[in-house]
């Protein structure tokens, strides 16, 4: 990787642990929290792709709620409106991964941004709660173009809004489809592979791979 002028981060699963909702899921449905969290996330992603392919964009909050409703039905869990509201609110206070603050500090003074499928207000809430608001010069949302990743229209927001050539932006994500989509668009890409799992076989590979966000600083030295 060379000539990195800015870092752009995916939010869900990269900076923020989507499975930090598991505690609330377990509280609502003892012993079923892990299964609910896993299926909820899987459906959330699947619905973004399907809605984009159908040309029927919906706000990420609606997508997330639809995924939750399906997951509960599939697992045979009765979900009264109050419980659903409580579980949905967890997406506004997702826990950042433990190394996030240290990693972002180590990358200063380069400009840092977020590029996410999340709705602007959802991203603003979770960033504010995590104490990260001052870390980012831009928080970019797929809502601006009304399609979801891995559409190139989403990744194009980064160079356009930052005023930096795409070849000089390092995009960081832990999601395989996101890594591949960003690389196909032409960004430099670093994959965060916390679980040490293989990349999907879709013809594109990241420029670098790390296990923790704190390793990103090494990219600047090379």
Q: Are residues 108 and 195 in the same domain?
A: yes
- What angle separates helix 81-89 from helix 60-74, to the nearest 10 degrees? 130
Phi-psi category of residue 13: left, alpha or beta, with phi > 0 → left and psi -120 to 50 → alpha: left
> Shortest CA distance to 110 belongs to which of 172, 173, 174?
172
The verdict on pTM exceeding 0.85 is: yes
pLDDT at 112 over 90: yes
**Does 1 reside within a domain?**
no
Q: Are residues 11 and 108 in the same domain?
A: yes
HSE of 192, CA atoms in CB hemisphere, 13 A: 26
Q: Are residues 99 and 208 in the same domain?
A: yes
pLDDT one-digit tens code per residue, 68-96: 999 999 999 998 889 999 999 999 999 99
pLDDT at 120: 98
- Domain hosting 38: range is 18-92
Quick one: average pLDDT of 12-41? 97
Task: Tell me the three state secondary structure of residue 20.
Answer: helix
pLDDT one-digit tens code per residue, 117-134: 999 999 999 999 999 999
Q: Are residues 111 and 84 in the same domain?
A: no
Residue 197's pLDDT band, with cuts at 50, 70 and 90, is very high
Beta-carbon contacts of residue 136 (< 8 Å; ≥ 6 apart) = 112, 113, 114, 127
Report the domain count for the chain.
2
> In terms of C-beta density within 10 A (0-12 exposed, 13-18 middle, 19 or more buried), how is residue 16 classed?
buried
Check if 10 is active-site.
Answer: yes
Q: Are residues 45 and 137 in the same domain?
A: no
Check which CATH number belongs to the domain holding 162 and give it: 3.40.50.1000
Question: Which of 3, 10, 59, 78 is flagged as catalytic?
Answer: 10
pLDDT one-digit tens code per residue, 139-174: 999 999 999 999 999 999 999 999 999 999 999 999
Q: Are residues 80 and 139 in the same domain?
A: no
* Average model confidence (pLDDT) across the chain: 96
pLDDT at 13: 97
Residue 2's pLDDT band, with cuts at 50, 70 and 90, is confident
Nearest-5° Cα angle at 41, 37 to 42: 115
Q: Are residues 117 and 11 in the same domain?
A: yes
Check which CATH number belongs to the domain holding 57 and give it: 1.10.150.240
């Amino acid at each position: 990787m060379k000539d990195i002028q800015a870092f752009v981060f995916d939010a869900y699963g990269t900076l923020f642990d989507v499975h930090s909702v598991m505690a609330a899921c377990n509280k609502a449905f003892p012993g079923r929290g892990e299964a609910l969290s896993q299926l909820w996330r899987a459906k959330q992603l699947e619905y973004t792709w399907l809605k984009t392919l159908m040309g029927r964009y919906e706000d990420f909050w609606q997508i997330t709620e639809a995924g939750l409703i399906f997951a509960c039905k599939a697992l045979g869990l009765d979900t009264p409106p109050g419980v659903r509201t409580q579980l949905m609110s967890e997406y506004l206070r997702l826990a950042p991964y433990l190394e996030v603050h240290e990693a972002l500090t180590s990358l200063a003074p380069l400009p840092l941004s977020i590029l996410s499928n999340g709705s602007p207000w959802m991203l603003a809430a979770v960033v504010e709660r995590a104490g990260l608001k001052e870390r980012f010069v831009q928080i970019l949302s797929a809502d601006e173009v009304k399609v979801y990743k891995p559409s190139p229209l989403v990744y194009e927001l980064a160079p356009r809004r930052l005023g930096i050539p795409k070849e000089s932006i390092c995009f960081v994500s832990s999601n395989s489809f996101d890594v591949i989509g960003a690389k196909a668009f032409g960004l430099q890409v670093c994959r965060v592979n916390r679980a040490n799992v293989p990349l999907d076989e879709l013809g594109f590979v990241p420029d670098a791979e790390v296990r923790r966000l704190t390793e990103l600083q090494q990219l600047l030295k090379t």
